[in-house]
Every structure is written in C-alpha cells, then in structure tokens.
Structure 1
Amino acid sequence: METTPITREGYEALKKEVERIKKIDRPMNIKAIEEARAHGDLSENAEFTAAKERQSFIEGRLIELEYKLGTADIIDPDKLPKDRAVFASTVVLENIDTTETFKYQLVGPVESDIEKGKISITSPLGKAIVGKKPGEEIILQAPGGKRYYELLDIL
C-alpha cells in the first residue's frame, strides 16, 4: 500500500473529523432518519430522502477519511533539512514580475488547502519549490505562461 506524507497536525485533524462524524454527525442523522420514517409514507417524504442522502455522504466521507488515516505517513519536520524547502517547510516567495509575496506551507496532497496557505508537494508549484534554497529562482510553467518567483525565506 502506498503511503501519503502528512504532518502530525494534519493527521490529528483527520482523526478529529472521524471522531466528530462517529459521535455527532452519524447519530444525528440516524435520529433524523427515524423521525422522518415516523411521518409515514416514505415515497413522498422529502425529509427521509434528504436524511438518507446525508447518510450516504457521511458514510462515504468516513470511508475516505479512514483510508487517508490508514495510508498516512506522519513526517517529523524536526528530522528534515532546514536549509532548503522540503515537506512541512513554510516558505516565503516573491513573484519577480509583480513583487507580490506569498507564504505557503508545503504539505502532502491530503492536507493541501490554498485558502489556508497549504500547497501540496505534488502540485506544480510545490514540485518547483521543493529542494530550493533562499535566494534561488523558481520557474513555474502555468497555463498562462511561465511565472517566476524567488524563494525569499524558509520559516
């Protein structure tokens, strides 16, 4: 089975979501199904249909999360090099053309969330950053053409 790199924080967040689903979401939905079933005719019962659809979503999400936990390889960032960008590094980039700066943490695909500043090491930008040292140029081949960045710092 192939493993997926993940930070301790990411692993704990997945475990917390599994626990919430098992202790809160699933029991609440079971109760909603029972209440909808009590209303009688299920063929025209929108509440029952919605609760069953929600049950399907909950069970699917639970399977997905448990798979991710089962294939997770927790990486200790303290054991990784600090002089170059690697998994779990937080980097500061500058777009050379616009001078706009960006701060990202390099994570595995399970944890990536651009809105939280977490990019996957398997993404095009993540691949371009990994292995770079402060002061080095990063060239990203984007759909709209090449973009040039400088790695300003590794935090």
Structure 2
Amino acid sequence: MGKISYYTEEGLNRLKAELNELKTKGRAAIAHQIAEARDKGDLSENAEYDAAKDAQGLHELKISKLEDVLSNARILDESTIDTSQVSVLSKVKIRNKKNGAEMNYTLVSEEEADLKAGRISVSSPIGKGLLGKRVGDVAQITVPAGVLEFDVVDISR
C-alpha cells in the first residue's frame, strides 16, 4: 500500500484523465507499433519489435504506478482546514529574512506541484519547513544552498 496523498478536485480529475488516456489511446498506439514491427518479418532479429515491446512494458508500468497513486488519493475539503497554520492547500506569503524578497506559494501534493504557477510540494524542503507554521513564525529551512530563514507573513485558502 502506498502513502495517502491529498489532492484538489481539479488535480485528482487531471490524474484520472491521464490514466484514461494511457489506457485507451496509449495502449492502442503501442499495439499498433507492435503489429507494424511484427509484420516486418523474423521476430528473433527484429530490433523494432523489441523496442516496441520494451515501450509496452514501460507504458504498463506507468499505468500501474498511476493506478496506485489514484487508489491512495483523497480529495481535501478546503472548508475543514484550519487557516491559523500552514497545511496542505494553504496559500502562504513568506518573506526571505536575508534579502526581503516576498513569495507566494500554495502547498500541494507532489503530483500537482508547479513552481511557475506558485504551487510547491508539501514534501519539498520549503514545503516541509512551512508545514505547521503560523503567521509571524520564522521558518528555518535547509535547502541545498544552505539554511534560509523566512518570515510567515500571511496564510489563506
């Protein structure tokens, strides 16, 4: 059994759509590649056939992993989340104590993380360091470049 992950409804629906795409169009495309390679003759010396079978194995592995993620996925009800401290789906405004730069992040599951959109994973170093903090707290976060200090300025949904 995998670990339980929490998603927004939008994120969970996106994962379900990806799984459906892999199972339908993806499997059909792989089957077509295998059939084409099989038609080219002797399978014992057919590198194209071997490559297509390898691709099929990787495709099925991806489907299996996605099914495992979905079996342990839960939708998080935002209305029941405590807004007094940072948790999953919190929108957090932080200020770097060293240079004064302010950043806004939303803490999400690993699969929904997108740094360009300001969505960071709760399992990232910054995400882990912010969990449980309250407005006014200082988060000391160890990152590959060293230790950074951030003031928690605001928490919202």
Q: Taking structure 2 as the reference length, what is the TM-score of the superposition?
A: 0.85
Deviations 1:44-85 (A, max 9, x none): 433322221211111000000000111112211121122322
CA distance in 2: counterparts of 1:76 and 1:114, whole angstroms: 23
Corresponding position of 1:136: 137
Q: Taking structure 1 as the reference length, what is the TM-score of the superposition?
A: 0.86
Corresponding position of 1:88: 89
* Runs of 5+ unmatched residues, structure 1: none
Pair 113,49 (structure 1): closer, same or farther in 2 beyond 3 Å: farther
User: SS of the counterpart of 1:43?
Assistant: helix
Q: Calculate the aligned-residue CA RMSD, in Å.
A: 2.1
Give % identity: 35
* Runs of 5+ unmatched residues, structure 2: none
Q: Is the aligned partner of 1:36 residue 2:37?
A: yes
CA distance in 1: counterparts of 2:129 and 2:80, whole angstroms: 22
CA distance in 1: counterparts of 2:46 and 2:115, whole angstroms: 40
User: SS of the counterpart of 2:42?
Assistant: coil
Query: Which deviates more, 109-118 or 10-19?
Result: 109-118
CA distance in 2: counterparts of 1:116 and 1:45, whole angstroms: 45
One-letter amino acid matched to 2:147? K
CA distance in 1: counterparts of 2:134 and 2:153, whole angstroms: 9
One-letter amino acid matched to 1:133? R
User: SS of the counterpart of 1:30?
Assistant: helix
Pair 61,116 (structure 1): closer, same or farther in 2 beyond 3 Å: farther
Q: CA deviation at 1:119?
A: 2.4
1:1-155 matches, within 5 Å, as 1=1, 2-155=3-156
User: SS of the counterpart of 1:78?
Assistant: helix
